[in-house]
Amino acid sequence: MSVVVVGIGGGVPHTWAIGPRVVERLGGEMLTGVRLLTSSHIPVRLLRADTDIDELIVVESTHDGGVPGAVRQSALEAHGPSSAGPETGVFGLLSALRMPRRVVVFSVETGGAGRGPAAEEAGEDAGSAAADAAVESVVHMILAELRHPGGHDCGVPSETSPAVAASGAGAS
């Protein structure tokens, strides 16, 4: 089983470059069977099943004007073609795209306005605590995803991080 975690970031101040920060933080964990990448855009080539990726996890920042640091998790799971015949509609499209069996996206809201390099350099980014908390939250959620009973056992020990057990993070 192969899992790829992609942290998408670029064009936002480092504080809100959540994807690359999460990947950097995951680099300190003992993960086997997991490839960590950063990119400034969605690497579409990874969405094809012929890349031998079973699960693709994407972490991104969004600018929808919501509460800074709010995390939204979305998942798309392909169960393969049905035994009833060829798939049509959305499932047919997904099957034709040959996507990995599971794609999970963690989107972290930046809060939109008021975030800029000048504010960050001046230490005036009041949202940095929210960004830091979001990074830790997403890391714990990804570690839980990797240990998910229906997912893949990627060699993530149950006690990977004492903070996960103490905070209960990653529980849904």
Looking up tokens 């970031």 gives: 9
Given a cut of 60, whether residue 19 has pLDDT beyond it is yes
β-strands 71-77, 55-62 pairing? unpaired
Task: Look at residue 137 in the predicted model and tell me its pLDDT.
Answer: 97
* One-letter amino acid for residue 70 of the chain: A
Q: What are phi and psi of 158, to 5 degrees?
A: -60, -35
Classify domain 3-167 by CATH number: 3.40.50.1450
Task: Look at residue 108 in the predicted model and tell me its pLDDT.
Answer: 94
Q: How far apart are CA 14 and CA 165, in angstroms?
A: 28
Q: Are 144 and 171 in contact (CB under 8 A)?
A: yes
Burial status of residue 136 (CB atoms within 10 A of its CB: 0-12, 13-18, 19 or more): middle
> Which residues, 6 or more positions from 82, have their beta carbon under 8 angstroms from its beta carbon?
91
- In tens, the pLDDT along 98-129 reads 678 888 999 999 886 444 444 444 444 557 89
- In tens, the pLDDT along 124-172 reads 455 789 999 999 999 999 999 998 744 445 554 444 333 333 333 343 3
> Which residues, 6 or more positions from 159, have their beta carbon under 8 angstroms from its beta carbon?
165
Given a cut of 80, whether residue 4 has pLDDT beyond it is yes
Task: Look at residue 158 in the predicted model and tell me its pLDDT.
Answer: 42
Task: Look at residue 171 in the predicted model and tell me its pLDDT.
Answer: 38
For 85-115, letters b (16+ CB in 10 Å) and e give: eebeeeeeebbeeebbbbbbbbbbbbbeeeb
Task: Look at residue 95 in the predicted model and tell me its pLDDT.
Answer: 60
Domain ranges (residues) in the chain: 3-167
Percent above pLDDT 70 for the chain? 59
The CA–CA distances, whole Å, from 67 to 17, 31, 118, 123, 128 equal 16, 31, 21, 20, 13
